[in-house]
Amino acid sequence: MKNTYETPFNSRYASKEMQELFSPDMKFKTWRRLWIALAEAEKELGLNITDEQIDELKRFKDEINYDLAELKEKEFRHDVMAHIHAYGELCPGAKGIIHLGATSCYVGDNTDIIIMNEALKLVRKKLAAVIGKLTEFAVIYKDLPTLGFTHFQPAQLVTVGKRACLWIQDLLLDLEELDFVIGSMKLLGNKGTTGTQASFLSLFDGDNEKVKKSEEIIAQKLGFDKVFAVSGQTYTRKLDSRILNVLSSIAQSAYKFGNDIRLLQNLKEVEEPFEKNQIGSSAMAYKRNPMRTERICALSRYVIVDALNPAITASTQWFERTLDDSANKRISIPEGFLAVDAILNLYINVSNGLVVYPKVIEKHLMEELPFMATENILMEAVKRGGDRQELHERIRIHSMEAAKKVKEEGRKNDLIERIAQDKAFGLSLDELMSVLEPKNYIGRAPQQVEEFINGSVKPVLEASTGLDVEVSINV
């Protein structure tokens, strides 16, 4: 029986691949990669470091001796020094050159950047998969008329596919922002205790070019082509804020989608997937609750609020650094990524299995369509010699009476029948019913879907290789 707290992101929500990125193994193995890169750069630039020492460091780079590191941290009250000693125990020949010239943020901050960069790429992959699945859905239902809603009140018709394009458009904006953040990621480099690189300048006997070159070599070895030009001891915490802001943006889009599906499920027009043996309610066996989209909304709300953490941290840092960022960021950054990972996993699942009920959609729109058709009816009656102002007033009166019957007596909308019986219009019931063709009231919705997908979505998906979800976007 488990008797200690475990984050739900690990036990219930986030994927194994995202959990592994923020695992202790990933963190401490990356520390060792950074120590190796530092030693290699220093050797290449002339410091007295041997191939044998570097080979020894590489031999033990993935063997993290946690027990010793934990003992050393209790002794030193310093996690980086604890792991330097633990690594040194495994590599006695290289012990003296580990972390040479560096400060703790060399491994701590650079590792955070490396891990966040990989996590952003994973988020991008899943975001593109969601876009792909929603695109398939939009194509299938691009011509299916449905009631539009403004203020959650019936409005002019749209199509089910056109509505899906609104969700996709939000995600495309998120993807643009995400690509910008990924494209602007930089390592901290090796800046030293206050960002002046004084220790490295001393190591290289005052040779500025070698200090600058060492950063270039380290960045290249870790897969980066840029480092921050200036810093304090840490990279600017604005980077964390920028990253959580894009995660928040994704969460906002997911929340909008989740809310829309929850409302549509109440209307019985569109439902999230429901498994054969799934239980909707422990008390009400007939219920099919929108559990997954509710979870999307719940986790999205967490991420939106979580984005305040790095924003406050970035704004309250003192001069070259304070340590009140550390405890906060080691919670807010990983948990933000784990939450967005969970949101996107759910989003992929739901968008891949949305259930549409065309007959219910048709029933709802036909209940409201007579009101929306009155302009067309008015024009047709005027063409036949009717007085526009007189007919407009008659339609207003008939509409009020029909609405009263619907709202107060629960009867069907009989507006068309009322107009057919009014000789001032000169239109038979059959003629009026021919006006009530839903496709006459959807405007350019199908064309907008095609134009949007071909012009805006396809190029993005075609450039997004390696999607886990198979995507078919033929229009």
pLDDT at residue 307 is higher than 90: yes
Instruction: Output the CA–CA distances (angstroms, integers) from residue 384 to 205, 388, 391, 427, in the order listed.
Output: 98, 11, 12, 9
The answer to whether residues 295 and 387 belong to one domain is no
More confident residue, 464 or 339: 339
Instruction: Give the per-residue pLDDT at 469.
Output: 43
Q: Among 301, 321, 356, where does a domain finish?
A: 356
How many angstroms from the chain centroid is the CA of residue 196?
37
In a domain, 337, yes or no: yes
pLDDT surpasses 60 at 71: yes
338 and 305 co-located in one domain? yes
- The pLDDT of residue 108 is 97
Asked whether residue 414 falls in the same domain as residue 307, the answer is no
Q: What mean pLDDT value characterizes the chain?
A: 93
Residues 255 and 169 in one domain: yes
pLDDT value for 287: 55
- CATH at 429: 1.10.40.30
Residue 435: pLDDT band with limits 50, 70, 90 = confident
CA 76 – CA 73 distance, rounded (Å)? 5
Among 354, 356, 351, 376, smallest CA distance to 439 is for 376
Residue 431, pLDDT > 90, answer: no
> Could you tell me how many residues make up the chain?
475
pLDDT at 379: 87
Which residue from 299, 308, 314 is spatially nearest to 245, judged by alpha carbons?
308
Q: How much is the pLDDT for 284?
A: 46
Report how far residue 325's alpha carbon sits from residue 328's, in angstroms, rounded to the nearest whole number. 6
Q: What's the pLDDT band for 280 if we cut at 50, 70, 90?
A: low
Across 164-178, 328-342, 382-396, least confident range: 382-396
Same domain for 382 and 338: no
Residues 133 and 242 in one domain: yes
Please tell me the predicted confidence (pLDDT) of residue 471. 41
pLDDT of residue 112: 98
pLDDT (tens digit per residue) in 145-156? 999 999 999 999
Could you tell me the pLDDT band of residue 465, with boundaries at 50, 70 and 90? Answer: low
Q: Which residue has the higher pLDDT, 429 or 106?
A: 106
Query: Do residues 326 and 255 both lie within one domain?
Result: yes
* Structure confidence by residue, pLDDT tens digits, 114-136: 999 999 999 999 999 999 999 99
Number of domains in the chain: 3
Closest of 330, 312, 340 to residue 237, by C-alpha: 312
Rounded to an integer, the average pLDDT of 293-299 is 98
Is residue 117 domain-shared with residue 91, that is, in the same domain? no
Residue range 31-56: mean pLDDT, rounded: 98
List pLDDT tens digits, range 220-234: 999 999 999 999 999
pLDDT surpasses 80 at 389: yes
Domain range for 418: 374-435
The amino acid present at 279, given as its one-letter code, is I
DSSP 3-state of 3: coil
CATH number of the domain that 48 lies in? 1.10.275.10
| Spatial contact of 38 and 131, defined as CB atoms under 8 Å apart | no
Per-residue pLDDT band at 374 (split at 50, 70, 90):
confident
Residue 445 included in any domain? no
Query: Is 75 among the domain residues?
Result: yes
Nearest to residue 224, comparing CAs of 381, 75, 113, 88? 113
Provide, rounded to the nearest whole percent, the portion of the chain with pLDDT above 90.
83
pLDDT at 467: 52
Tokens, residue 52: 């044998």
Q: Is residue 423 part of a domain?
A: yes
Give 426 or 108, the one with higher predicted confidence. 108
- In percent, the amount of the chain with pLDDT more than 70 equals 95
Residue 269, domain member (yes or no): yes
Question: Which residues are known catalytic residues?
Answer: 151, 281
Residue 475 is predicted with a pLDDT of 42
Give the model's pLDDT for residue 373.
86
In the listed set 97, 128, 160, which residue is the last one of a domain according to the structure?
A: 97
Q: Which tens digit of pLDDT belongs to each residue from 405-426?
A: 888 999 888 999 999 999 999 8
The answer on 109 and 86 residing in a single domain is: no
